[in-house]
Structure 1
Amino acid sequence: MKITANFDSGNIEVINATDPNNIQLAIRKDNMSDFYQWFHFRLNSPHAQVHKLHITNAGTSAYPDGWKDYQAVASYDRQNWFRVETEYDGNTLTITHYPEAESVYFAYFAPYSYERHMDLLHQAQNDYNCQLVELGETLDGRDMSMLVVGEPDDSKKKVWIIARQHPGETMAEWFVEGLLDRLLDEDDGVARSLLAKAVFYIVPNMNPDGSVRGHLRTNAVGVNLNREWQNPSMEQSPEVFLVRQKMLELGLDMLLDVHGDENLPYNFVAGAEGVPSYNAKMAQLEASFKQALLAVTPEFQTTYGYDRDEPGKANLTVCSNWVAEQFKTLAYTLEMPFKDNANLPDEAYGWSDVRSMKLGQDCLTAILAVVDDLGTK
């Protein structure tokens, strides 16, 4: 029996793997950080029996409440990820599974590999309406890449979509893949209407180093990128520095910053109510976007989410807050669950890569509902 995480986005430490019924594991912390929750590993076993895998340090992870009602995902082909029996006793997370093949992968959520990320970029650039722009390099020497979809024109609105500031939130890049699939579909009326009115600036992965390293929340040197937007640096947070610089250079009329939430089993958005410049126009844009998305898909809801910031008390180191204050426009953080959508549960798959992609497609309809009002006083 062998357990390994020696691959792209792999993360696990093996304490004891001699007894299939009592495998002892631990999640490795992000480099130079105390954050940990993401896991991704492969089990190879000749034993035709139930395997019990105990993640012994789950209780002291970054978001221990996230383990309640959570089920891990597994795959035999690294394409189809399904939910498996998982229990949490307040300290240890136990995955119970009878492998139907010699080799099976387990993960916190359906992984989005660096190779798939590169495929996404280069397949998109093959479209006549899409350009791949390299912004610079990360601390590990990987490219910071942006896709520009649409023909830039001063009369068009500038819509920014960024994802995966927190690398373990892989549903965010699945969301972007779905959004891109629809946006580049010449036969889609929503896409055609949007590209007549707007140019999209899309950063599918804000944190490629953390993604490959198997981190939950930070970059190569343990920095939480979504707390760097006021004062990023090339030494600590080049990912934010480079994207922020390009936003200031090109301009911005709308932002969606796409994430995943460990605790809440819902899809929701967090607005900028607490920024000093928040006004009636920004509130109206937020309300219109939410109303449109509610009408498009039952996957979205507005009952559950984060507590609103008090007026003037928003944390401006957070991306969507900094953008809202800087550009005086619509800036949302969009969150998806690691668990399931409690309003529309799926016992076999929970919230999934496929559902994340479909939500990305649906969000284009909500953007179309507000695009004419973006950037107006």
Structure 2
Amino acid sequence: MLHCCPKQQLPIDTIFSPVRYFLPHGYDYIVSNELLSADPQIIKDLDDMREKCKSAVPSNERNSNTEQRVRPKSSMSSSTTRASSASKSTTTTSCRPKSLKGTKLEKKKVEQKTLSKKKSNTNGNKYRQVSRLDTNGIDDVEETGIRLVEDEELDDEDSSKSDDDAEEDDDEEDEGSNKENLSSSSIPLPNGEEPIRDSVDLSRAYEQFFDETIDPIYMLRLKMVQTIIDPHTDSLLSRLFRNILPASLTPLTAQSRFSYWRMPSDLYFQTYSMLAKSTRSAYQFTKLAYPDTFNAVSYPRFEPMQKSDERSSRTTLLADIRRILYPPSIYNRTVYDFDTIVDNSTTTTLNNDDEQRCHRRSNADHLLFDSQFECGNLRKAIQITEEEYDLILRPDINTFRYHQWFYFEVSNMRPDITYRFNIINFEKLNSQFNAGMQPVMFSVCDALGGKPYWRRIGEKISYYKNTYGKKKKIYYTLTFNIRFAHANDICYIAYHYPYTYTTLMTDLVNWSNTYDRASIYFRQQVLCKTLSGNDCPLLTITSFYNQNDLYQNEKQTISLHERSYVILTARVHPGESNASWIMKGIIDYLLSDEPTARILRDRFIFKIIPMLNPDGVINGCQRCSLATKDLNRQWSSPNSTLFPTIYHAKGLIAYLSMCCSRPITVFCDFHGHSRQKNFFFYGNDPRLHFLGPAYDRSTITKLFPKLFADIQGFALQSCLFSMRKQKEGCARIVVWDEFKIDLAYTMEATYNGFDVGLYKGLQIQISTLQMIGHDFCRVLVKLVDQELKSADSILPIEELFVTNENYSQEKCAPHGDEKRRSSSTDSSSSSSSSSSLSSTDGGVH
């Protein structure tokens, strides 16, 4: 890691998000909490107002008003299954049950009250607290926001972990930014909503998503025709595709070793443009990004990683020092301000005119930037010199943190000039940009010349700590040089290969028009609506039972009503676009005519949620939804209003477990990892459970990753099996614990490249990511073979995998074993993986 560069005065006025999205009524305090914990001036203003209110109200009336105040109704029902008794003992001033560390907070309340005035005008408080106002002039939601800040600060337990342990799930931000409350009661439940859903409620809500278990085949064929697109757009697309498919589609056969259909660019553009009109965002878009509308792919040749060059890094830092010592040569001119542009935006029709703008010189004497399109993220561009620009990224919507994903347009460049770009507000301690990774760039001029490819670009890439932060907030700079090949080109630069929500909807149209309707059951449904009103698609893929098919044998002839389920989810973190490309490879493979794909369709019913966080993807966020929270920490007790996709995804699994008792063989959630190479798995080890060892559960979870040992790009040594307290709200632990799914995983894929196997030294590409999806399906077939083996023919689990010797087990909570036994008896054991797998080493201690 490089040392920090000298400080420079830049027009960085605020760290607030420039885009505010108003949450449903009753949850406004969540945004207030985020903003309040960022700006000390807001707390100072509240302190001044509080003093004025106290001086205006007599002391006797002040006490009577305090006794009459009651919590909002939304917080009265905030009890959960784990804290029902604790919620009864909380005072009326709290908006939610206290965290596990609430006793520490009580001990410090007296000290906090005496120091609140002194600490209110600072930005580095450990426990920032504003005492309750005693008048009706201030809404109660401000108080609830402060309570959330206290508990979130207390729950930051990850800051003391080693660098190796901090790699799991790639969510360990710097010490000041990772303040997520990981308890199940972090958000109160809506009014009247019960924390536990009974079987009647589940059947009423989710039976519609499992018609394949009830309806006859002729009715299923009729339902396959239904789409999730609105009727008007669907009619336009039907007219567009009529008499065209499949004649105009070209079978694409490449390294994937199977053929599937690919739409031509003009047809793809028309489809994408129609669907983009229905995409709802938190702010107004003014254009469609060219590479998204024309279905850009990665460069057809492999691109090696950049070799680290300490001399160039030293030169970069010296240049930073030089521009501080000689300030007259610095422009410090803001050439792009997203905040101002959004406020003055009047464009209502989305289109793309890059082909007309290409090669057209602007009157401006600097580069032109734009990010007001789907998935775009650039907040401000500041010209430092004629060839150097400092760039500032937007945080996630309604928050002031999580700066990593970037995607913007740059134009009006001159040829044969090396431009330097410095993105100055990254938050991660380290990055793969120091290990050979490069950003990706798409050139419109190259696309018009027949090369519509995303390419890895950038020279003299460095990632180092800077001094632009305040107090405990630390930022890091990513700097890289680009020499553009064409004059007045229009280029798009991104952190990784983008995959937008509209791209997913366009792929749905392509899949629904090109699969084999005679043998494949492919249905798309709307799982739920997001906060901003976008559809969350749910896909079902299996095969119709046809005993006359030649490729079937006795092992695969399983009735449609007797198959087990495989549940796959992706893109819960919006900035992890590589997860979407893997998911696209899986769906392409399952809908193909490959023999192994046919076996999988005959053996399993696939329930796929390809995008769990559409709102975050659309608005260019890195980690959170519009409700300011990490959705992968809300699985324990999801709020149906704020986190509808998680709430209903968990409801699907609960329905299979509690109502129809259908076995779930595999659950896998796909992610991207920004600080490791290759792809690998995170799983659960019952011996390392944060509540104590669960000896009654099988450790067969380590079998599935072992089957990837021969897959190129897979790193067995990077796999980690743990069940830490900090991760108790993530998907793989919740479905393992509550629904007894032994084979529950998180798959992590690198943004950078590989350091093992055939791809060693190469950066990852779109084709490689899709290939990982194909390999995932092929390994599932191996899992079918393992299911059919006897218990004696499977190797002992300790010989199959590397144990986590150096992983320290956390202290057991009081009465942890009793708590575990009670939870295990409440859940149905029928949704576990197949009995033959579970019986192999269930007694391993």
User: Normalising by structure 1, what TM-score?
Assistant: 0.91
1:160-194 deviations in whole A, cap 9, x for unaligned?
A: 110010010000010011111111112x1111111
Who is 1:44 aligned against? Answer: 411
Correspondence 1:173-192 to 2 at 5 A: 173-186=580-593, 188-192=594-598
1:375 corresponds to which residue?
834
8 Å contact from structure 1 (residues 63, 262) kept in 2: no
Show structure 1 runs of 5+ residues with no match: none
Shifted more, 25-34 versus 140-149: the winner is 25-34
d(CA) in 2 for partners of 1:140, 1:255: 28
Are the structure 2 counterparts of residues 307 and 154 from structure 1 closer, same or farther at C-alpha, using a change threshold of 3 Å? closer
Q: For residue 249 of structure 1, what is the aligned residue in structure 2?
A: 655
Structure 2 residue aligned with 1:100: 485
Q: Is the 8 A contact 2:683 2:721 kept in 1?
A: no
Alpha carbons 1:17, 1:23 under 8 Å: kept = yes
By how many angstroms is 1:35 displaced? 1.4
| Contact kept? 1:232, 1:240, Cα under 8 Å | yes
Aligned counterpart for 1:119 among listed residues 506, 511, 520:
506
1:357 lines up with 2:770 in the alignment:
yes
Displacement of 1:14: 2.2
Helix, strand or coil: the match of 2:562? coil
Structure in which a larger fraction of residues adopt helix: 2
1: CA distance between counterparts of 2:654 and 2:681?
Answer: 24
Residue 308 of structure 1 pairs with residue 722 of structure 2: yes
Task: Verify: 1:327 aligned to 2:739, yes or no.
Answer: yes
How far 1:247 sits from its partner (Å)? Answer: 1.8
Equivalent position amino acid for 1:264 in 2:
Q
* Aligned position for 1:110: 497
Kindly indicate whether the alpha-carbon contact (under 8 Å) linking 1:50 and 1:97 is maintained by their aligned counterparts in 2.
yes
Deviations 1:181-239 (A, max 9, x none): 111112x1111111111010111111110001001111112110100001111222111
Larger Rg: 2
Instruction: Provide the C-alpha distance between the structure 1 equivalents of 2:507 and 2:760, rounded to a whole number of angstroms.
Output: 27
Task: Tell me the SS of whatever aligns to 1:116.
Answer: helix
Match of 1:12 in 2: 378
1:292 to 693, 707, 731: 707
Is 1:236 aligned with 2:642? yes
Aligned match of 2:397 = 31
CA shift at 1:371, angstroms?
Answer: 3.5
Q: Which moved more, 1:171-180 or 1:112-121?
A: 112-121
Give the CA deviation at 1:122: 2.6
Does the alignment pair 1:75 with 2:442?
A: yes
Aligned to 1:56: 424
Between the aligned partners of 2:391 and 2:633, the Cα distance in structure 1 is 31
Rounded to whole Å, the distance in 1 between the matches of 2:583 and 2:438 is 24
SS at match of 2:727: coil
Q: Cα distance, 1:99 vs. partner?
A: 1.5
The whole-number CA distance in structure 2 between the counterparts of 1:25 and 1:215 is: 16
SS in structure 2 opposite 1:294?
Answer: coil
CA gap of 1:343–1:22, structure 2 versus 1, over 3 A, is same
Could you say if the C-alpha distance between residues 19 and 27 of structure 1 is closer, same or farther in structure 2, counting changes exceeding 3 Å?
A: same
Within 2, Cα distance between the matches of 1:138 and 1:73?
Answer: 30
Alpha-carbon spacing, 1:288–1:52, altered in 2? closer, same or farther (3 Å) = same
In structure 2, C-alpha distance between the alignment counterparts of 1:214 and 1:334, rounded to whole Å: 22
Select the structure that is richer in strand: 1
User: What's the offset of the Cα at 1:306?
Assistant: 4.4
Instruction: Give the letter aligned to residue 352 of structure 1.
Output: Q
Matching residue's letter, 2:780: I
Distance in 2 between residues matched to 1:280 and 1:74, nearest whole Å? 51
* Separation in 1, partners of 2:636, 2:439: 36
Distance 1:232 1:309, change over 3 A: closer
CA shift for structure 1 position 254? 1.2
The structural deviation recorded for 1:131 is 0.2
Paired with 2:587 and 2:600, the residues of 1 have a C-alpha distance of 13
Shift of 1:4: 0.9
Report if aligned partners of 1:272, 1:331 keep a CA contact under 8 Å in 2.
yes
**Cα–Cα, structure 1 residues 64 and 357, in superposed 2: closer, same or farther, change >3 Å?**
same
Q: Report deviation, 1:287.
A: 3.1
Amino acid at match of 1:353: I
CA distance in 1, matches of 2:696, 2:616: 38
Q: Give the match for residue 3 of structure 1.
A: 369
Indicate the SS of the match to 2:402. Answer: coil
Q: CA deviation at 1:67?
A: 4.0
Partners of 1:45 and 1:20 in 2: CA distance: 13
Aligned residues: 369
Deviates more, 1:33-42 or 1:125-134: 125-134
Aligned to 2:453, what secondary structure does the other structure show?
coil
2-structure distance, mates of 1:155, 1:94: 56
Distance 1:55 1:335 in 2: 25
Aligned to 1:339, which of 748, 752, 756? 752
Contact 1:278 1:325 in 2 (8 A): no
Q: Distance in 2 between matches of 1:287 and 1:279?
A: 15
**2:660 matches 1:225:** no
Q: Does 1:133 align with 2:525?
A: yes
CA offset at residue 121 of structure 1? Answer: 2.1
Q: Which segment is superposed worse, 69-78 or 31-40?
A: 69-78
1:315-335 CA-to-partner distances (Å, cap 9, x unmatched) read: 331001111112222101000
Q: TM-score, normalised by structure 2?
A: 0.42
Cα–Cα, structure 1 residues 321 and 309, in superposed 2: closer, same or farther, change >3 Å? Answer: closer
Deviation for aligned residue 1:242: 1.5
Cα shift at 1:136:
1.2
Distance 1:307 1:271, change over 3 A: closer
Between the aligned partners of 2:780 and 2:696, the Cα distance in structure 1 is 19
Q: CA RMSD in A?
A: 2.3
Contact 2:564–2:603 (CA under 8 A) maintained in structure 1:
yes
- Deviates further, 330-339 or 367-376: 367-376
Equivalent residues of 2:499, 2:577 under 8 A apart: yes
Q: Which amino acid aligns with 2:485?
A: E
Structure 2 vs 1, CA of residues 306 and 46 (structure 1 numbering), >3 Å: closer, same or farther? Answer: same
What is the Cα deviation at residue 246 of structure 1? 1.5
Indicate yes or no: 2:572 matched with 1:165: yes
Cα distance in 1 for partners of 2:612, 2:570 equals: 6
Q: Give the SS at the match of 2:409.
A: strand
Q: Which moved more, 1:267-276 or 1:28-37?
A: 267-276
| Equivalent-residue separation in structure 1 for 2:782 and 2:429 (angstroms) | 35
Partners of 2:421 and 2:726 in 1: how far apart? 41
In 2, Cα distance between the equivalents of 1:9 and 1:53? Answer: 20
The one-letter code sitting in structure 1 at the alignment partner of 2:776 is: C
- TM-superposed CA distance for 1:45, in Å, is 2.0
Residue identity in the other structure for 2:453: N
Show structure 2 runs of 5+ residues with no match. Answer: 1-366, 466-475, 545-559, 658-663, 788-832, 839-845
* Larger relative contact order, structure 1 or 2 (CA cutoff 8 Å, min sep 6): 1
Amino acid at match of 1:290: P
Relative distance call for 1:216 and 1:160 in structure 2 (3 A) is same
Tell me what 2:323 maps to: none
Task: For residue 29 of structure 1, give the secondary structure of its aligned residue in structure 2.
Answer: coil
C-alpha contact 1:198 1:371 (8 A) present in aligned 2:
no
Report if aligned partners of 1:168, 1:214 keep a CA contact under 8 Å in 2: yes
Aligned equivalents of 2:708, 2:683: Cα separation in 1? 15
